[in-house]
Amino acid sequence: MSSPSSAEPAPDRPAPADPHAPPAQAVTLDDIRVARKLLDGVARVTPLAGCRALTDRVGGPVQLKCENLQRTGSFKIRGAYVRIAGLSEEQRSRGVVAASAGNHAQGVALAAQLLGVRSTVFMPGGAPLPKIAATRGYGAEVLLEGTTVEHCLTAAKAYAESTGAVFIHPFDHADIVAGQGTVGLEILEQCPEVRTVLVGTGGGGLLAGVAVAVKALRPDVKVIGVQAASAAAYPPSLAAGH
């Protein structure tokens, strides 16, 4: 895979949490189980697949949770659908707005379409063309804004304030975390002998949800967040006390 040029945003680069948002609600195993019922018939139960290269490298069995086979091509539909499904009728009537370079954009667009809600998504000008096209194909109005996800977040929040649309944050909401946590339930059911779960980490919604699900049912299992060294936002964030 080639590296993105400096003019192009990394796909779904971690978005900053809103410092003015109310304290996050703690997510429980019950919340994740409720989310799973909501997602029945919406999100696919994606398979686990053995990976010989990684198994040989670490000297033990490694399996991959194939969320690339999920609807829209990523796990994002899980959280987006649960979040939008939880809106009141009055909130739904105002529509939803999101900001993303691709994966969250598609998740919100499809979830909104399935629930009959109008969606607007701000995407960077350098976002991958197939992801822009897919987001539009799911029924969202796509507005290109700036060159980074941060530019899009600013524009999306301003749009929400001016129109009344509900802003769907990519990770910083309990319903998003609960939806992503359904991945953890599936892993435990598909691989009862699991000992360690490694979770790719951007904003932390998937990691948080998987950790809640796995640790509630199997406290002996290690859950470890992983980031690319070139985009490791978590170590400095933790060091700063965030």
- pLDDT tens digits, residue range 152-197? 999 999 999 999 999 999 999 999 999 999 999 999 999 999 999 9
In the block, residue with structure tokens 């490298």: 57
Tell me how far CA of residue 27 lies from CA of 32, 35, 67, 85, 208, in angstroms: 8, 11, 22, 17, 9
Q: What percent of the chain has pLDDT over 90?
A: 83
Q: Mean pLDDT across the stretch 21-40?
A: 87
Bridging pattern class, strands 63-65 and 48-50: antiparallel
Domain stops at, among 167, 186, 220 = 167
Instruction: Identify the weakest region by mean pLDDT among 18-27, 33-42, 129-138, 162-171.
Output: 18-27
pLDDT at position 98, please? Answer: 98
Q: Mean pLDDT across the stretch 205-230?
A: 96
Per the structure, how many domains does the chain have? 2
Residues 64, 99 share a domain: no
* CA 63/CA 58 separation, integer angstroms: 12
Residues 158, 143 share a domain: yes
| Confidence bin at 2 (pLDDT 50/70/90) | very low
Domain stops at, among 115, 144, 167 = 167
Task: Report which residue type is found at 18.
Answer: D
In a domain, residue 17? The reply is: no
Range(s) of the domain holding residue 186: 29-69+173-239
Show the CA angle centred on residue 142, arms to residues 139 and 145, nearest 5°. Answer: 170
| 101 and 122 Cβ atoms separated by less than 8 Å | no
In a domain, residue 222? The reply is: yes
In a domain, residue 152? The reply is: yes
In a domain, residue 13? The reply is: no
Q: Mean pLDDT across the stretch 95-102?
A: 97
In a domain, residue 6? The reply is: no
The reported pTM is: 0.88
In a domain, residue 3? The reply is: no
Report the sign of the C-alpha dihedral through residues 199, 200, 204, 209, in that order: negative
pLDDT at position 5, please? Answer: 36
Which CATH number is 36's domain given?
Answer: 3.40.50.1100
